Structure 1
Amino acid sequence: MNQKTQLTEREKFTALEVNASYVSAPRMSRKHIGLVQLSTDHTLEMDWAKLIGEQAAVFSSRVYYSGDMRPAALDTIATGISKTAQLIATDLPMDVMAFGCTSATMVIGENRVGQLLREGRGDIPTTNPWTAAQAAFKKLGAKKIAIFSPYPSDVNFFLYQQLMKAGFEIVALTSLGIKKDTEITTISKQSMIDALDKMLINSDADLVFMSCTNLRVLDHIELFESMYKRPFVSSNSAMFWHAMALTGTNAHCPGFGRLLNAN
C-alpha cells in the first residue's frame, strides 16, 4: 500500500469521525465497597453476591496467600494488602474498604490491616471479619460467645486471646484443626451440625460465631438459629453488615439470620 493510498484512507476516516462532547453522570447511588480477598478464598464473593442486592456495589481484587494456616504464613499476607487495595477500581471513590480474612486480621492486627487498606484510598472507614464480628456481637447484645473454628490450635489461641481482651467470654470453642485454607470450603453442613451438637450441649452461649470467610455456612444460618435457639454470625455476614453500617446504612438481607434482619 503506497503513501497516497494511506493518506486517502486517513482522509476518509477524518471525514467520517464526528467530534462530540459529553457531560459526566454522577456515580451510581449504591454504597461502594472495596474488597481485598485472598487468592485462596472460594466462598466470600459467592456469599456476598447473595447479600448485596441493590444495596451496594462491590469492587474487589485478590492478594496472594499460600493457604498455610500457620500464624507465620498468615502474617505474610500483610505485604500485599496495600498494593492490592490500590488496584481496586482506579479513580473510583470507595465508601468503605474491607479485607476478607478473619484469621489473618487476628495475626496481623486490626489497626495495621486498616492502615494498609487506606494507603492510596484516602481516610475512609475500613472493616474486616474480625472487627466486624466483635461489632456484631455488641449489636446483638452477646457477651458469652461459642466459636466454631476450622483453624488449628495456634490460630485459635490468637482468637481466644483477642476476644477475651475485648471483654467477651468464650464459653466453648470447637476446632477442626484444618491446616490448608482451601480445605475449609469443603466442610459439609452435617459436619458443622455434628460439631455444634457437641459444642452447644448444655451451653449458655448468647451467640455462635462461625469463623472464616471460606466457610460455606451463610445458607445454613437461619436453620442453625432455629435448631440452637440463639443468633449465629458468620465472618461473611458480619463483614457485610459492618461494611454497610460504616456507610450509615442498615443492611437488610432476609433469610440470612438475625444480624442481617436487625434494624
Structure 2
Amino acid sequence: MPERRNKDVQGYRYKFGVLGPSTNTIVQPDFDDLRPHGVTNHYSRIVVDNAKAVSNETFMAGAWEISHNTIDAVKGVLTCSPDYLVMGMSAVTFFGGAEGALKWRQNVEEVSGLKVSTGSEALAAALEAYGGIKKVAFFSPYYPTANAEVANFLSDYGYETVRDKPLQAPSWTAIAEIDDDKMRETFRYLDGDDVDCLIQVGTNVSGIRFCAAAEMYLGKPVIAINTATYWHALRACGVYDHVPGFGRLMAEL
C-alpha cells in the first residue's frame, strides 16, 4: 500500500500543482492520463491571450508574456496546498540554455517554497535515463528562433541536434490541433540512422500516445515532452509506479 503523505482522500500520496497557459487544452488531460493512483493534479492557468504567433518575434513575445504571468498562477495554486509543482509550459524553460533553465526554475521555487519540474530539465533527465543517446531530432509547434533555443539547451547537456522541425502553429490554441497524421509526417522527416532519439516538444501537443507507439515500431527512444515532465515529477517525489501505454519512460524507467 503506497505511503499516505496527505489526509486528502484522492491526493493522499502527492498533490501536484500544475502550471499551464490558459490557452493550453492538452496538458490537463494528458497529465491526468499519466497519473498513478493517489497522485492528483491541480491545474492553475497562466492567463494569456490567444496570441497569433505569425513570426519569430511574435512567438517569442507571446512566450515571454506567459513567463511573466507565471507567478500569479503559482500564487493561485498554492491555496490548495500542493506538495510539488509541475510546469505544463515548456518553451521559456529552454531559453538561455542550461543556465537560463536553472535560473527560471529557481525563481519559481523561491516564490513558491516548493520544488518544481520543468519541461527542459525533465527532458534532459529523460535522455540520461534512457542512456546511450548522443544525437537527437525534434519537432515543436514553435518558430525557428524558439527551436534554436531548444537545440542550444540540448547542446549544453551534450546532445547534438541532427534535425529539427518548427511547425509554426498560427496561434496558441492551434497547437492543440496538431494531430497524429502531422506527427507521423514530421517524424518521417526527422528520423534516420544518424538519430538516436526523436523528441516532441511543446506541451499543447498531445504526443503521449503517438510517441509511445512510434517508439515501438522505430526501435529507439521517442520522447513526448508531457510524458517526460510528468515522469520527472513522479520520480523526483519518489513515486516509481510504472504506468503502461506511454512508452518505456513511464513503463520501465
Q: TM-score, normalised by structure 1?
A: 0.82
2:165 to 170, 174, 180: 174
User: Which sections of structure 2, spanning at least 5 residues, go unmatched?
Assistant: 1-5, 54-58
Q: How many residues align?
A: 236
- Is 1:103 matched up with 2:74? no
1:98-153 CA-partner distances (Å, limit 9, x unpaired): 2211112223742343234334532x321111111111011111222110222111
Structure 1 counterpart of 2:228, one-letter code: A
**For the residues of structure 2 that align with 1:174 and 1:76, how far apart are their CA atoms?**
24
Structure 2 counterpart of 1:136, one-letter code: A
Task: Tell me by how many angstroms 1:251 deviates.
Answer: 4.3
- Is 1:196 matched up with 2:187? yes
Aligned runs of 1:1-263 on 2, under 5 Å? 26-27=7-8, 28-68=11-51, 69=53, 70-90=59-79, 92=81, 94-107=82-95, 109-122=100-113, 124-141=114-131, 142-200=133-191, 202-263=192-253
SS of residue paired to 2:217: helix
1:43-76 CA-partner distances (Å, limit 9, x unpaired): 0111111111304111221012234441122112
Structure 1: which 4+ aligned runs deviate by more than 4 Å? Answer: none
Relative distance call for 1:257 and 1:194 in structure 2 (3 A) is same
**For the residues of structure 2 that align with 1:64 and 1:112, how far apart are their CA atoms?**
22
Structure 2 counterpart of 1:106, one-letter code: F
CA contact (8 A) 1:213 1:235 kept: yes
**For the residues of structure 1 that align with 2:71 and 2:216, how far apart are their CA atoms?**
40
**For the residues of structure 2 that align with 1:165 and 1:39, how far apart are their CA atoms?**
30
**For the residues of structure 1 that align with 2:166 and 2:72, how far apart are their CA atoms?**
33
CA contact (8 A) 1:129 1:239 kept: yes
1:18-43 CA-partner distances (Å, limit 9, x unpaired): xxxxxxx8345322211111111010
SS of residue paired to 1:209: strand
CA contact (8 A) 2:200 2:207 kept: yes
**For the residues of structure 1 that align with 2:179 and 2:118, how far apart are their CA atoms?**
25
Which residue does the alignment assign to 1:20? Answer: none
- The structure whose Rg is larger is 1
Task: Tell me by how many angstroms 1:234 deviates.
Answer: 0.8
